[in-house]
Each structure stands twice: as C-alpha cells, then as structure tokens.
A and B are shown apart, each in its own frame.
Chain A
C-alpha cells in the first residue's frame, strides 16, 4: 500500500500520517489492531475469494452451455457448484459487508477511535483466514461435492473431502459471531454525545440488526457442523437413519441458522443503500423510523421462517402451514423499505454517480428478488418450484443482485475515504450499467426455465432447456468480465487516481468529516467531529477547488460561500 496519502487542507502537509502509511511492512499489517487496516485486509481476502468463486460460477455456466458433458464430468461438476456455493456464501457474502466495509466504516461513523475490542477484531480476521485455508484444503485434496447445504445422509457417506470444508465453515462461523459481538458493543458503548438511537445513520441500524443475527444465529450453525463432523468421523448416528437418526432433523438445524444467514447478507446491504440513496438524492431519507424498525423487525422475524426451505423435504403439513404463514410476515418489512427508498427519490436532487447507479439497480433487483420470494412462500406453488432453477434465480437475485451489488456500491462509495483516491467515474458508471444488464441476462431466463421443470444442480439437462442455458451463460460471461473491469478500475485508481477530498459525495455522516484516508485514530486531535443533524443537506455546498462538498459553517471569511 505504498500510497503517499495527503489530505488537501490549509497547512499542506498532514499533521499525522494516514492509517495506510503510519506503520509500513507486512508484519505491521498482520498484527495491526486498527479497525481500518483489518477492514482492508478483509477486503483483500473477500475480493480474491469472490473472484475465485466467480471463476467456479463461469465454469459451471460453460459446462451447462450444451446438454451432456463439455469441460468436466458429473462428479467434477458437483464439486464445482459446491465450491461456488460454499466460497460465495461462507467466505464472501456473509463477512463481505459487515466485516470488510462494516469494520472500516462503523468506528468512523460513530466518531470513535476504534471498535470496542480491537484484539477480538483481529482474532476474527485470523479465524476468517483459517476458515478460508480449510476451504482451500478441501478444494486441493478432493473438493466436497455435497452442495453448500451439506445435507445428510449424503454428506456423511460421500467419499470427497467434506470434513475440511465443514471445519472451514465451522471456523468461519465463529469469525462471524465475534465480529457481530464486537459491533453490538461498539454501537452500544461508543456513540458520541448527542447521537441517540434515532440520530444514528441508518447504516448503523442495519449493522446493528445484522450483528444481532450474527451473534444469535451463527452458533446453531457451529453446533450443526460440529454434529456433522462427529457423525461423519465417529458414526454417532444422530443424523444416520440406519442408527435411528433423522436426516430431516439436520435440515431443521441447518436452516435455523441459514435463513437468518440470508438476512445477515441482505440487512447490511439495505443499510448501506439507505445511506447511499439519501446522500446521492441530496435529500433527507423518507420514513427514517420505519426503515430503522423494519431492519430490526427483519432481524427478529428471520428466526421464525426457516421451515419454508423444507416444504417438500419431509416436513409435516402442520409445520409447513405455520412456516408459510410466517414467511409472508417477512415480506412486509422488505416492501416497506423499498417503498421508503423510492419515496426518498421523490423531490430529490439526484446525482447519478457510480454508487448511486449501483443503489438504483439494487432497488430494482431486490424488488424482483423479493417478489419471487412470494412465489416460493405460497405452499402449492412452492411444491412445483422447489429445488428448480426458479429457486436458483430467486436467491441469486437476492444474494448477488442485492447483497453483492450493494457491496460494490458501498465499496465505490467508501473507496475515496479508504484509500484517498478517486476512481474513474465514467468507467465505474459504464460497469454499473453493464453489471445490471449482464445480471438480468443471466438470471431472468432461469426463472422461466425453473418454472418449466429444470431441476437444480443438474449436470445434464433435457434438450428443451438448451436455449435458456445458453442465454444465461452469455449473461454470466458478460457480468464476469464487467466485474473484473470494475475491480480493475478501483485498483488502477490506487496508483493513478485523483486525490480524494474529505467529502466527495456530499454525505452528512461523520466519516465525511475525517480526512481521507483517515489517520490511525480517525480524526486529527485538533479536529474532533461535529455532530450535525442527521441527513440535513442544506448546509453543504460543492466547492470546485476542493473537488468535494464543504459546509457553509466551516467557510472562512475569504470564501465566497461565507455567510456571517
């Protein structure tokens, strides 16, 4: 990270070096306690895992271009989609927004020097690395071919390397728990004076409800995977039907965690999007309390609905009915959020910068993802659609279309603050639009294919689905290339990018008062952050020389924007 970061301020040279340059050397980075460096290390890990998972996705899609075997045989194909699923879920999207960007932004937005437990934060990162290493071990030895859900009795009887993959997910679970625990204590104990619960930016509401889910749901994944490991190695018989066990019980254990897990993925995305939309609409958010309450409401309701993954997998009629009814309660808070975002755009002053393009495509893709969830919530329609490509398209719309697009939007939003460099706006905007087009080309045909009878996780398919698979593969490659280009654009900006001002987008949250990139303790000693009313843009004006937004209150007498 050899960026000579300077902040443009009156005295020229910065009083303190930025967190990137304060202590150089690989060793300093590995043992750092600074939440920003840990966030950057997470970011590096997560983006590489994302590109690796993406490669597996493209291999799966190439294999499916024609029926019959193209580049891999059926066993390898099963390993490919399992790795694609496991890497994307456990390594990229669960730690993605909370750990990488949450770690960076949470303390600065609170105006605090660091998270509550810095060493626990570093310990979580080490756990993430151990989990990733175990997953790679499974990949190298004989990749697991059980699907990312590890359903028994197949996962306990297959000959592939399931134990390292499951052990990796077990360890990653604890990394997620400790991150969540850290964030809850930080939000409770480090709020600055004057920032009560309802003066907090919505991003923190999202991170808070995600952290609650991470702490209270992930342990059940831990115990489930522990039982799976002991079952597979020791044949204890808890999930083994021949010894009196019950495979459906494993599904209950697994989905009790995994549905809150999908909310761990989407809640931080919604949180960041709320901030993004209000910043680029240059207008106060519409319905602050409703968005905040729906975040916490989603966190609470997500514990009640796990049975809708098991409507046809041997769950009783009574339980299916109860879970279907509860599943529809979860649809309401999501709808409220989308309506509030659209209402925020009303009578706004919208600048379509890259992060805003990602935010708008998030709204549209999340709407499709949410609405297709209604199909899968209705019982008799789900009987037909379950385990078909309709489900594949649904969860890609919600996970990739919403959570990952939000991750990209947030990454572009905070990039100037993280690295003090502005990325190329034009390239960013084009990539955002191309990702939107590529995504829809990939997954819209899968809805139709799934409803027509294309089953999930199929290596070979009946010829009548060929056309849909071909369109989907083309879309997948378009999206893959665009994502690589957008990451390239960001990395290119590290070396050639324009210096970033403190407030490039005109945000009102505290991180935009910090220099970019911020010093080790986020704010200079003489420049403690001032808490302005939340989402009030009237005081901000765009300054050409600065290349960013300034506050009239800070204007010096010689500036023309000065008002006594």
Chain B
C-alpha cells in the first residue's frame, strides 16, 4: 500500500507498467485480429465464380499485410504526459506545465497560510483574537488584478495553440475516418479500408471524420489531438507525427456498451514505409475473389446509392436478375451482357435504359480492369 502511494506522489518517477515486456498489439483486449482483405482459404481449382468462399487457384496465395508492431508509447512519456509526438504536443505540454507550476505555487502558498494561521492563532488560554481590520481594499484589488492578468495570459496561449490545432496546412494527406458503434475504420485515398491508422512520419495528415450512429471522439494522447465524431457531419483534425512508432488511439466520447474497447493503433511509418504499405494494401484489395471485389466496390464506390440489389427501382435500374435480360435503351434494344455493363460503367450515357435519366457519372480512369470484372461477376451472380 505504502509503495503504491510513494510511487506516484513522492518519488515522481514514471510508474513502470506492471506487465513488463512487449505489449502485443492484439493481445489482451479483444483487439480484432489483424484482418487482411480476404479470409484465408485452401488453394484449389476455381469453382463456381459466384461462390464467395470458393477455393482460390493454387498459384495465387492470399496476400496478407505485415502485422502492426507492438505499442511504443507505453511509459515513454514524462510523469504527467504521454510521449509528445508532434510539435503541437510540445506547446500543449509547455502550457500544461506552466499552469501546473502556477497551481502548485498557489496551492502550497494557501496551504502554508491556512496551516500556519490555524496553528499560530489557535484557541488557547489567554489568547484573544488580536485587533485586525475587516477589509483592506488595496489588498482586495491586488488579488483581483494579479489572477486576472495570469488568466488572460493563459487564455491567449491556449487560444494560439488551439488555432494552430485547427488550421491544417494545405498539402495535408487526407484520410477519411468512419466511426461506428465500437469500431474505427480508416479509408485511405486508394480505397483501402483498415482498422488502424497508418500515417507517414514528418508529413501533415488530415482526418475527415464522420460517424454512422452515435457520437464518438477520436483521441490520440501522444499527438494531443481530440475531436468528436458526429453523425451527419464532417469534423476535421490534423497532426504531423515526429517519430515513427505505434501509438494508442482511444474513443473519448461515451458511445455505449463497448465504448472502452473501441480503440485502435496509430502506426507512424518511417520515411518510405508508408508508401510500401499502401502499395501492399492496393494489391490486397485486388486480390479478393471477383464476386467479393464486386460486392465491395458496389458499397465502397457508391453504386448502392442509385442501383439497388433487391429489385426496387431507385435513380438507376436495379441489378437484381438483370444479367442476360434485354431492355430498351436510348440506342435500341440491348442484351445486358459483360460488354454492355463495361460500356455503361465507362461511358454511361451511351445506351441509357428507357425511363431513366442520363445522370450516371463516368468511372473511366477510376476503376481498374480487375475491379470492372469484379463488378460484372457480382452483377452476374445477383439472381
């Protein structure tokens, strides 16, 4: 018991964590195992294309991404603060310690005054309360002015830091963060979605965040950034990591049962490491079986906004059972086959189906061939 009290109050050295040794990233909390894009499967000849977990052809082993390293921010910070991994973090620490110094000075001063007065003027035989005036305006004015000045200074420093915190540089690298009940997902510009945030070192990164259901809050203690994530609204933060490593990220706004498990890791890659990781992610993306890739793109690329898969007509025709049918289009009757779908993706206004408007945007240059094949297979399988 005494040892506990001493460690944090008196000795003042950072309390070493009880569980020594590397803290495995996916160890004790039920951190979801590092999920590569596709589940692992037994190698076998390609079966029916519509079967999502059809055995993979032998020659193409499933590409898995390198696992995330252990956390490097445990016990690395000062006594009060976790490790400061961005220059803004330095400002925050500086102001924090300044206010801490002022507070300790005031608190110790008041404590000494109270204890001393309580002892010196304690009630005892023959002790009368000596004469003293009931008010002293000069004293009152001084101890109003001085705290006001200190407060104004602290406010200004705090505000300056806050402005820096909220004005990202123009060339920041952008990642979309989607928070939903008890899971973070990070969408990178190349379409790859990951459970952990991968950022390059030394480059400003900007997060555009939104929530799918309730309020969450993106908090990385090492970068001293925190911002609530609100449904139906984009909220934005930015930071620039200074040292490579793996840092813990938390959800700070209460969001339900597994609020305390809704955390992920921020992996700061050394120079060049981030680019390599993104390329591997790109490959992993294309490595799924075509029908799963098609389904993934149907959601990720927003086809679900205009095309439904359950028969209801939305802005565009439904894909359910459409493959093989012939329909009237602006350029005569057309059988819906591979090249009609490929053409409609790349040049939507060529053959517009009757009764629908030519409002589909073109995806030329945005979808690779494997992705278009994936979509075609997916549409083919929608019976």
Contact pick for B18, options A338, A382, A441, A467, CB 8 Å: A467
Question: Chain A binding site: helix, strand, loop or mixed by DSSP?
Answer: helix
A535 / chain B contacts, CB cutoff of 8 Å = 134
A286 touches B135 (CB 8 A): yes
Asked if A464 meets B228 with Cβ closer than 8 Å, knowing A380-B161, A453-B250, A458-B259, the reply is no
B123 touches A351 (CB 8 A): yes
CB distance from B237 to the nearest CB of A (A): 9
B222 / chain A contacts, CB cutoff of 8 Å = 453
B117 touches A348 (CB 8 A): yes
B19 touches A349 (CB 8 A): no
B213 touches A74 (CB 8 A): no
- Once the chains are docked, how many angstroms separate the CA of A352 from the CA of B158? 41
A-B contact pairs, 27 of them (CB 8 A): A74-B261, A78-B254, A151-B253, A286-B132, A286-B136, A290-B140, A312-B217, A313-B228, A317-B162, A338-B110, A342-B110, A343-B136, A345-B114, A346-B132, A360-B114, A368-B107, A374-B102, A384-B92, A444-B9, A453-B221, A453-B222, A453-B248, A457-B260, A462-B29, A463-B19, A463-B28, A537-B129
Encoded as 1 (CB less than 8 Å from any B CB) or 0, chain A from 334 to 376 comes to 0110111011011111111000000010011001100110110
**CB neighbors of B among A20-71 (8 A):** 67-68
Q: Is A557 at the interface (CB under 8 A from chain B)?
A: no
A157 / chain B contacts, CB cutoff of 8 Å = 213-214
Taking CB as reference atom, which chain B residue is nearest A67? Answer: B28
Q: Is B305 at the interface (CB under 8 A from chain A)?
A: no
Contact pick for A381, options B92, B130, B132, B214, CB 8 Å: B92
Asked if A336 meets B143 with Cβ closer than 8 Å, knowing A383-B225, A463-B17, A464-B75, the reply is yes
Q: Is A283 at the interface (CB under 8 A from chain B)?
A: yes
Q: Is A284 at the interface (CB under 8 A from chain B)?
A: yes
B118 touches A317 (CB 8 A): no
Contact pick for B121, options A146, A321, A347, CB 8 Å: A347
Q: Is B334 at the interface (CB under 8 A from chain A)?
A: no
Asked if A342 meets B122 with Cβ closer than 8 Å, knowing A241-B231, A336-B143, A455-B251, the reply is no
**CB neighbors of A among B240-258 (8 A):** 248, 250-258
A455 / chain B contacts, CB cutoff of 8 Å = 219, 250-252, 260
B157 / chain A contacts, CB cutoff of 8 Å = 378
Count, A-B residue pairs, CB within 8 A: 293
B80 touches A452 (CB 8 A): yes
Q: Is A195 at the interface (CB under 8 A from chain B)?
A: no
A317 touches B163 (CB 8 A): yes
A380 touches B128 (CB 8 A): no
Q: Is B307 at the interface (CB under 8 A from chain A)?
A: no
Q: Is B277 at the interface (CB under 8 A from chain A)?
A: no
Which among A228-236, A324-332, A514-522 touches the partner chain?
Answer: A324-332
Encoded as 1 (CB less than 8 Å from any A CB) or 0, chain B from 142 to 181 comes to 0110011001101101111111111000000000000000
A3 / chain B contacts, CB cutoff of 8 Å = none
B103 touches A374 (CB 8 A): yes
A242 / chain B contacts, CB cutoff of 8 Å = 231-232
Q: Is B297 at the interface (CB under 8 A from chain A)?
A: no
CB distance from B104 to the nearest CB of A (A): 9
A384 touches B221 (CB 8 A): yes
CB distance from A375 to the nearest CB of B (A): 5
A466 / chain B contacts, CB cutoff of 8 Å = 17-18
- Once the chains are docked, how many angstroms separate the CA of A26 from the CA of B261? 51
Asked if A312 meets B254 with Cβ closer than 8 Å, knowing A321-B162, A364-B111, A474-B4, the reply is no
Size class of A's contact patch? Answer: 35 or more
A350 touches B140 (CB 8 A): no
Q: Is A510 at the interface (CB under 8 A from chain B)?
A: no
Encoded as 1 (CB less than 8 Å from any B CB) or 0, chain A from 503 to 533 comes to 0000000000000000000000000000000
A313 touches B217 (CB 8 A): yes
Q: What 6 A-B pairs are tightest by C-beta distance, nearest first? A: A380-B161, A378-B158, A453-B221, A379-B162, A241-B232, A328-B151
Contact pick for B253, options A313, A372, A384, CB 8 Å: A313
Asked if A452 meets B96 with Cβ closer than 8 Å, knowing A345-B113, A350-B121, A379-B159, the reply is no
**CB neighbors of A among B66-120 (8 A):** 74-75, 77, 79-82, 88, 91-92, 95-96, 99-100, 102-103, 106-107, 110-111, 113-114, 117-118
- Once the chains are docked, how many angstroms separate the CA of A154 from the CA of B103? 37
A153 touches B213 (CB 8 A): yes
A147 touches B129 (CB 8 A): no
Q: Is B198 at the interface (CB under 8 A from chain A)?
A: no
Q: Is A445 at the interface (CB under 8 A from chain B)?
A: yes
- Once the chains are docked, how many angstroms separate the CA of A367 from the CA of B124? 28
- Once the chains are docked, how many angstroms separate the CA of A374 from the CA of B303? 51
A67 / chain B contacts, CB cutoff of 8 Å = 28
Asked if A371 meets B92 with Cβ closer than 8 Å, knowing A78-B257, A312-B228, the reply is no
Q: Is A487 at the interface (CB under 8 A from chain B)?
A: no
With A332-B148, A377-B154 given, can you name 6 additional A-B contacts, CB distance below 8 Å? A241-B233, A289-B135, A368-B107, A371-B103, A374-B103, A381-B92
A349 / chain B contacts, CB cutoff of 8 Å = 121, 123, 127-129
B29 / chain A contacts, CB cutoff of 8 Å = 460, 462
Encoded as 1 (CB less than 8 Å from any A CB) or 0, chain B from 347 to 369 comes to 00000000000000000000000
Q: Is A205 at the interface (CB under 8 A from chain B)?
A: no
- Once the chains are docked, how many angstroms separate the CA of A467 from the CA of B31? 22
Q: Is B230 at the interface (CB under 8 A from chain A)?
A: yes
Taking CB as reference atom, which chain A residue is nearest B182? Answer: A74
Q: Is B226 at the interface (CB under 8 A from chain A)?
A: yes
A241 / chain B contacts, CB cutoff of 8 Å = 230-233
A452 / chain B contacts, CB cutoff of 8 Å = 77, 80-82, 221
Taking CB as reference atom, which chain A residue is nearest B145? Answer: A332
B226 / chain A contacts, CB cutoff of 8 Å = 312, 383-384, 386-387
CB distance from A91 to the nearest CB of B (A): 21
- Once the chains are docked, how many angstroms separate the CA of A441 from the CA of B147? 29
A283 / chain B contacts, CB cutoff of 8 Å = 129, 132
Q: Is A182 at the interface (CB under 8 A from chain B)?
A: no
